[in-house]
């Protein structure tokens, strides 16, 4: 029997004939494999028999273009300054030529990648690639792309994701936290960015103000827009010791707005979610 050289090592009878199982597996399927198949036995003494029952033994193989995307999975929610992995799993469970992975993107810091292959119970193989990196707040909305290339059939497919970074409260520059006083009142403003959005409080002398207030001596108004929280404080009378405090799951920011002299800087202290000073 003449065997088409293009099918050698790709067409494999994986069923146990003695168990009446004539399962055929096609590795690195090509468009030229498209068509109807039937099972034929050839033995010694010119013995030949073809199974040509149209319904049960003549399957039609339809080879399509790649359509299933690689699967991207994150080891954790992206948090600034916290190492993480993103794994790209090739579509399907293959038995042919190992695919080639390529990561592209504009991460702010160096990264490393490694590939893995795991054999499944049905003897197929799952291929994956993992990228390891430590994201920063500058990676917000950065795009990462994983491309999977199948060299045997010269086809590729890719999947992308946008990094939604989480980070602790930050005030940007000191212009985002200010206080101005006159003989009658003190007006303060505190603008904080974080993801998840921040909760903002005011510490006035020894009193902690945790919600919006409007009375004869004080007015506090706080709003959230996206990842930015803004809180405004108006206080009647002489200037007091005032601090703006903000927190979320990833840290606490303390901004001391009490200036003891015109040349003294505003004090900003940030604590991460595990108690580590950030600035």
Confidence of residue 269 (pLDDT cuts 50, 70, 90): low
Give the start-end residues of each E strand in 45-162. Answer: 48-51, 60-61, 71-74, 84-89, 100-105, 111-119, 125-133, 143-150, 155-162
Residues 95-111 pLDDT 10s: 788 999 999 998 888 88
Q: What pLDDT is recorded for position 149?
A: 96
Percent helix, strand, coil in the chain, to 5, is 5, 50, 45
Cα 231 to Cα 235: distance, rounded to the nearest angstrom = 13
CB-based contact 80:166 (threshold 8 Å): yes
Fold for domain 71-162?
Immunoglobulin-like (2.60.40)
Dihedral angle, C-alpha 218, 224, 225, 229, nearest 10 °: 80
Cα 149 to Cα 146: distance, rounded to the nearest angstrom = 10
Mean pLDDT (whole number) for 245-262 = 83
CATH topology agreement for domains 71-162 and 168-272:
yes
Write down the CATH superfamily of domain 5-61: Immunoglobulins (2.60.40.10)
Residue 114's contacts (CB-CB under 8 Å, 6 or more residues apart) are: 129, 130, 132
More confident call, 155 vs 48? 155
Fold for domain 168-272?
Immunoglobulin-like (2.60.40)
The residue ranges of every structural domain in the chain are 5-61, 71-162, 168-272
Cα 206 to Cα 51: distance, rounded to the nearest angstrom = 90
CB-based contact 138:108 (threshold 8 Å): yes
């Amino acid at each position: 029997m003449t065997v088409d050289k293009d099918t050698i090592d790709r067409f494999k009878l994986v069923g146990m004939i003695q168990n009446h199982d004539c399962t055929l597996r096609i590795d690195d399927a090509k468009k030229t494999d498209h068509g109807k198949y039937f099972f034929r036995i050839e033995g010694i003494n010119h013995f030949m028999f073809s199974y040509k029952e149209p319904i049960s033994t003549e399957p039609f193989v339809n080879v399509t273009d790649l359509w299933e995307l690689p699967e991207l999975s994150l080891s954790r929610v992206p948090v600034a300054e916290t190492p993480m992995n993103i794994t790209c799993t090739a579509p399907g469970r293959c038995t042919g030529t190992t695919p080639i992975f390529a990561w592209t993107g504009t991460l702010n810091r160096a990264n490393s990648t490694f590939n893995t292959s795991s054999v499944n119970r049905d003897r197929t193989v799952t291929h994956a690639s993992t990228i390891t990196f430590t994201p920063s707040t500058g990676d917000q909305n950065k795009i990462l792309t994983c491309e999977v290339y199948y060299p045997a059939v010269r086809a590729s497919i890719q999947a992308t994701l946008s990094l939604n970074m989480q980070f602790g409260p930050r005030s940007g520059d000191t212009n985002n936290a200010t206080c101005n006083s006159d003989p009658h009142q003190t007006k303060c403003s505190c603008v904080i960015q974080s993801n998840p959005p921040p909760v903002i409080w005011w510490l006035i002398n020894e009193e902690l103000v945790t919600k919006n207030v409007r009375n004869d001596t004080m007015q506090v108004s706080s709003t959230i827009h996206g990842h930015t929280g803004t809180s405004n404080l108006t206080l009647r009378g002489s200037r007091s010791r005032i601090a703006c405090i903000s927190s979320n799951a990833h840290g606490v920011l303390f901004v001391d707005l009490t200036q003891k002299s015109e040349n003294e800087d505003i004090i900003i202290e940030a604590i991460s979610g595990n108690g580590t000073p950030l600035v």
